[in-house]
Chains A and B, each alone.
Chain A
Amino acid sequence: MAIIPAASDTTDADPIAGEAAPRVALHTGSGEPVLHALGEWTAARLADVRLWRSLQASLKEHAGGSTHSVAWSLEDVQALDHIGAQLLWERWGQAWPADLNVTEAQRALLERVARFTQQPQPPPRPSLWQRYLGLGDGVLALLSHLHSFTSLLGQLLLDTLRLLRAPTRAPWRDISGHLFHFGATALPITALVGFLIGVVLAYLSAQQLRQFGADAFIVDLLGVSLVRELGPMLAAILVAGRSGSAITAQIGVMRVTEELDAMRVMGIPQGFRLVMPRALALAVAMPLISLWTTVVALLGGMVAADVALGISPTYFIQALPGAVDLANLWLAVGKTAVFGLLIALIACHFGLRVEPNTESLGKGTTAAVVTSITVVILVDALFAIAFRDVGV
């Protein structure tokens, strides 16, 4: 009797893994040929791509397709874990070989794998009726969002009335804290983005205007577009990403850590203490950030106009009031206050709907940012239609 290594077995013995390389050798003797498993049949070895390939090659060579009809011996295996056992079991076509020589521990391992291995069930395809029901679920979910958002808005109105009736008992410290976090700390980033957008816009416009000799109109172009539209939009999108996500995450974490429940148990109204301070703070901060962004963007435009068209800053500043009607500024202030209110309310809405797990927190934050940016753009379009005769 001798273990006859196949031709590939000489290369099988991996120079690094050596004797530990999982492999098979055909043992031909007087009776039936027996396949001997050798080496370490463990996850760590099998995950090595070279060892895996050489094992597959030697399995194929010795056994071909009908592996389970051959006699197997695992007595010389140095180590066998569940992954190795799983591989063997699947190699045997999920059936015991007719002749199997194993130790007690190996048999226990293989039996466990055999007992628990089952054909995976393909996920059921949704039927037409289920898809129809899914559509209904979607509509109901949308309605439920609208419902709770409306009640949040109504609650905010009531809370504001309560604030007006007893201003001394309002959470002013919260409001001023939020004002600082949403407003003051947003100034550098909005300034940077605003300045760059102003420069880019002025450069691109200058190229077109120069062709028509309409250089002086750059003041009108930048003035109207930045004051009325771009400044407020830029500020709103930045604030929605920055403060909207922060609000949802704050309130969501309070849900996860049961702080919201603790507040309810103590009879502290969430609307008055959580939603209203944030909504008011952002409604105040948003127009200010928008003004700031607009001013810095105009500054950027002014610099670019000087460089590209030779329009002096003095002329720019003198011409600006004539080019942009003051109504545009009031319109921008008004609509950014609405944007701020909407961003805060949407963020609070999604924060309060977070379920007590981290997965839901991530989804809620994403939904809050995406929804608030979308709503801001939609509402901006409504403003554009409603005030189309004002200031232009």
Chain B
Amino acid sequence: MSQTPVSERPLAVDICGLWTVYGGGNAPEFVVHRDLDLQIAQGEIFSLVGGSGSGKSTLLRQILGLETPTRGHVSVMGQAPHQADPRSAASRVGMLFQQGALFSAFSVLDNIAFALRELGHLPPDLVRDAALVKLQMVGLEAKDASKMPADLSGGMVKRVALARALIMDPPLLLLDEPTAGLDPEGADGFCDLLLAMHRELGLTVIMVTHDLDTLLELSSRVAVLAGQKVVAVGTPREVIATPHPFIQQYFGGGRGQRAMALLDTQSPGAAEPLAPSA
């Protein structure tokens, strides 16, 4: 695959002049995003960073179409998310929720196959086989298919949730704290899996994470949200070098230093952006 510069690739997500304001009327206004601009190219692994309450999750929900911005323009794969046909949502964007959000009444296989089954008239055998392929792609075994979510470990829940998010081959994958609640080994394994999926399926990945190891290992670009705006966008190294007080505080602490030291020992290119496959 050729390495196309980020700026020349088509956009996966285009956010222009975004305002999100809660309250209003009698209640005091609370501004989450103030005239925010953000462009994410196809094939990137893009991370959103910011303190608690900086509007990262709100931004993710707006990209998903779960919330509508007060003002401004959000376009996902050239389409406004809240105007798109909800029936084909699973084929546009996949979402991995922090706790997995598996349907506890369904088996693993039924969880993965759910969106496909609801789509309409596909034969049950085809749906089952397609779900089994996705199950094994995320590193689980076919015998896990009949298990119930309650019987799965935290790492397995995340993997099943990832398989479910990818069942319709969406070009865009959103991750909310992908490694939260996993042990170090599990987190490493899950990061490797995400990189493999990104490479094999040519995904655009957007994630929100506080785990600096994950952030620095995976991200091709990072955007820092602070003071209702994007204060820096660029590769992790570029962002860390930005002389902004929040960024210096965020990456300059003990955890940030350790993660940076680890990143320096790693081979360069692990987090290079990849062009989407044909």
Contacts of A112 in B (CB 8 A): 133, 137, 200
Contact A86 B129 (CB under 8 A): yes
Cα–Cα distance between A121 and B200 once the two chains are bound (Å): 28
Q: Which of A90-137 contact B (CB under 8 A)?
A: 90, 103-105, 108, 112-113, 115-118, 120-121, 123
Contact B132 A43 (CB under 8 A): no
| 8 A-B pairs whose Cβ atoms sit less than 8 Å apart in the complex | A43-B169, A47-B116, A47-B119, A86-B130, A104-B278, A108-B277, A116-B135, A359-B150
Contact among B126, B129, B278 for A105, CB-based, below 8 A: B278
Contacts of A43 in B (CB 8 A): 91, 116, 119, 122, 168-169
Task: Give B102-131 as 1s and 0s: 1 = Cβ < 8 Å from A's Cβ atoms.
Answer: 001100000000001001111001101110
Min CB distance B86 to A, Å, is 13
Q: Which residue of A lies closest to B142 (CB)?
A: A118
Q: Which residue of A lies closest to B115 (CB)?
A: A43
Contact B126 A87 (CB under 8 A): yes
Residue positions of A touching B, CB distance < 8 A: 42-44, 46-49, 52, 81-83, 86-87, 90, 103-105, 108, 112-113, 115-118, 120-121, 123, 355, 357-360, 362
- How many residues of B are in contact with the other chain, CB < 8 A? 31
Contacts of B150 in A (CB 8 A): 355, 357, 359-360
Contacts of B104 in A (CB 8 A): 357-359
Contact A46 B91 (CB under 8 A): no
Q: Name the residue in B88, B121, B200, B278 with the highest tally of chain A Cβ atoms < 10 Å from its Cβ.
A: B121
Contacts of B116 in A (CB 8 A): 43, 47, 83
Contact A47 B130 (CB under 8 A): no
Contact among A82, A83, A362 for B122, CB-based, below 8 A: A83
Q: Which of B32-68 contact A (CB under 8 A)?
A: none
Given contacts A357-B104, A357-B150, contact A81 B168 (CB under 8 A): yes
Task: Give B8-49 as 1s and 0s: 1 = Cβ < 8 Å from A's Cβ atoms.
Answer: 000000000000000000000000000000000000000000
Residue positions of B touching A, CB distance < 8 A: 88, 91, 104-105, 116, 119-122, 125-126, 128-130, 132-137, 142, 146, 148-150, 168-169, 200, 202, 277-278
Q: Name the residue in A52, A108, A116 with the highest tally of chain B Cβ atoms < 10 Å from its Cβ.
A: A116
Contacts of B149 in A (CB 8 A): 357, 359
Min CB distance A125 to B, Å, is 15
Min CB distance B181 to A, Å, is 14
Given contacts A112-B137, A117-B132, contact A44 B88 (CB under 8 A): yes
Cα–Cα distance between A87 and B168 once the two chains are bound (Å): 14
Contact B133 A82 (CB under 8 A): yes
Q: Give me the 9 closest cross-chain CB pairs, A-B, nearest first.
A: A47-B119, A81-B169, A47-B120, A357-B150, A116-B136, A116-B133, A49-B121, A359-B104, A358-B104
Min CB distance B110 to A, Å, is 13
Cα–Cα distance between A358 and B101 once the two chains are bound (Å): 11
Min CB distance B197 to A, Å, is 11
Given contacts A108-B200, A359-B148, contact A83 B130 (CB under 8 A): yes
Min CB distance B168 to A, Å, is 5
Contact B169 A82 (CB under 8 A): yes
Contact A103 B278 (CB under 8 A): yes
Given contacts A86-B130, A357-B104, contact A44 B121 (CB under 8 A): no
Contact B168 A117 (CB under 8 A): no
Q: Which residue of B lies closest to A118 (CB)?
A: B142
Contact B129 A42 (CB under 8 A): no
Cα–Cα distance between A121 and B144 once the two chains are bound (Å): 12
Q: Which residue of B lies closest to A123 (CB)?
A: B146
Cα–Cα distance between A49 and B123 once the two chains are bound (Å): 11
Contacts of B128 in A (CB 8 A): 120
Min CB distance B33 to A, Å, is 32
Contacts of B125 in A (CB 8 A): 90
Contact among B91, B105, B121, B133 for A42, CB-based, below 8 A: B91
Min CB distance B146 to A, Å, is 8
Contacts of B137 in A (CB 8 A): 112, 116
Contacts of B122 in A (CB 8 A): 43, 46-47, 52, 83
Min CB distance B275 to A, Å, is 12
Contact B91 A82 (CB under 8 A): no
Cα–Cα distance between A47 and B88 once the two chains are bound (Å): 11
